[in-house]
Amino acid sequence: MSKVTDMMYELIHKAEFRDESYITALDAVYEKHKSTACDLLDGDELASFLSRLLDDINILKYMLRAIFIAGHATESFSDFVAGHGELWSAQMLAAVVRQPSPSASNHCTAI
């Protein structure tokens, strides 16, 4: 997924400058990841990923609200927020790899 890190830093920037549009921007990040997950995953893997994603989004709402109130993000706060894009990509890739592929069973029986 492209530009997610940029989106995450934009969230921080908006919160630091007390621009409440960080809330709708975070919703857009959620929708982007949800849409991609729905395209790539199904069943338990999809449900598990979406549950973790929603939990993380809720935590980020609190973190960004703290940044909004303070008008400043420390380096560790910025790393925490921005790092979630990479975290979600890794979690989604791991979920894709764990899913059984319908064609994989066909390849195994053909050998």
Given a cut of 70, whether residue 106 has pLDDT beyond it is no
Range of the domain at 11: 4-98
Asked if residue 12 belongs to a domain, the reply is yes
Query: Which are the contacts of 80, defined by CB distance < 8 A and separation ≥ 6?
Result: 63
pTM here?
0.86
Contact 60, 26 (CB under 8 A): yes
Asked if residue 109 belongs to a domain, the reply is no
pLDDT tens for 41-54 read: 999 999 999 999 99
CATH code: domain of residue 56: 1.20.120
Predicted pLDDT at 77: 97
